[in-house]
Amino acid sequence: MNIYDIAKLAGVSIATVSRVVNDSPKVSEKAKAKVRKVMEENNYTPNVFARGLGLGSMKTLGIICPDVADTYMAKAVSYLEKNLQGYGYDCILYCSGYDTEDKQQAVERIMKKQIDALILVGSDYADDSPDYFHCIHTVSEQIPVFLINGDVEDSNIYCVYADDFQAVYDVVDELLFAGSRRILFLTDSFSHSAKRKLEGYKAAHREQGFSIDDKLILYADKTIFATRDTLLRQRNLHFDSVIATNDSMAVGAIKYAHARGLKIPEEVNVIGYNNSELSISCEPELTSVDTRVEVLCKTAIDSVMALLNGKEVRQKQMVKCHLVKRGTTNF
């Protein structure tokens, strides 16, 4: 039982519960009695989060991402920081890497700082390992936790994510309709986001009545030249289109096509993901899915601030992606 549960049972906001805990004069005696009755019936003991909401704010948020060398992560952190400035807030940034234990340690370290909420950037934080999940669940009982581009089933964690399933489904659906029959799905990850993209890829094939060749689902390192070299080693792999789960892998596919003498888009369509600077730094320019990271970050920060001010916030918010067509596709 936590502050979220008490607020829900009493039919009030978490800020109201906090004010009751701190005996604030801003709450009516009737509301205080109602909340206290629910607390007593459920043997609720207020924690630091419940008390802290009523005692003011440090006006600082914690942000954890795997690696700011990643262009998507760097862009997300930049947007988050700018939106926080608009609210007069500061941030503390930790880079955790991708290992589960390292992510858990980063969360534990940042919690030693005085932060009002925690934002986890990237679907790698939708990690279902028991120790890690227990870690972020425990944190969420003390401060709000927001996950950007990941989906976690927990009543105390708020998720803002791109509709990766639908984005890939729509692209593959268009490719199949245009005549592509061997579409390569190129990924470097087993993250929540990558899994949703793969589900969209498979669903589009099934719904158009096409079988799925497992050989056309290829995992590789996401760097450009590693992806190119991985494809060059696949001597018996034939495809007429590529959809990659990030732009760097898509550029690697373009370099592979150049090395093989394949014409783009006449002989092979290539679609990237994230609509990064890489998409306009290659020849031909890359068609890419825009996940609208700026909208994701603004939505997350607006929601954090609303929650900290006692307003209701949706547990899960999905942002629709856009396909930006350039020179690597002809559908």
pLDDT tens by residue, 85-125: 999 999 999 999 999 999 999 999 999 888 889 999 999 99
Tokens of 239: 């495809």
| pLDDT at residue number 48 | 52
Q: How many CB atoms lie within 10 A of CB 293?
A: 23
Cis before 130? omega within 30:
no
In angstroms, the CA 62 to CA 146 distance is: 10
Selection from 113, 71, 72, 106 nearest residue 90 by Cα: 113
| pLDDT at residue number 49 | 56
**Residue 62 DSSP SS3:** strand
Q: How many CB atoms lie within 10 A of CB 68?
A: 15
Domains and CATH numbers, the chain: 3-52 (1.10.260.40), 60-162+293-319 (3.40.50.2300), 164-291 (3.40.50.2300)
Q: How many CB atoms lie within 10 A of CB 90?
A: 12
- pLDDT bucket at 172, cuts 50 / 70 / 90: very high
Q: What percent of the chain has pLDDT over 90?
A: 71
Q: Which long-range contacts (CB under 8 A, 24 or more apart) does 129-138 make?
A: 129/100, 131/100, 131/104, 132/100, 132/103, 132/104, 135/104, 135/107, 135/108, 136/107
pLDDT tens by residue, 235-266: 899 999 999 999 999 999 999 999 999 999 99
121, β-bridge pairs: 148
The string of DSSP letters for 186-222 reads EES--SHHHHHHHHHHHHHHHHTT----GGGEEE--S
Tracing tokens 């959809």 back to the chain, one arrives at: 243
Tokens of 2: 């936590």
Selection from 237, 298, 225, 292 nearest residue 262 by Cα: 237
0.85 cut: is pTM over it? no
CA angle 208, 211, 215 (to 5 degrees): 130
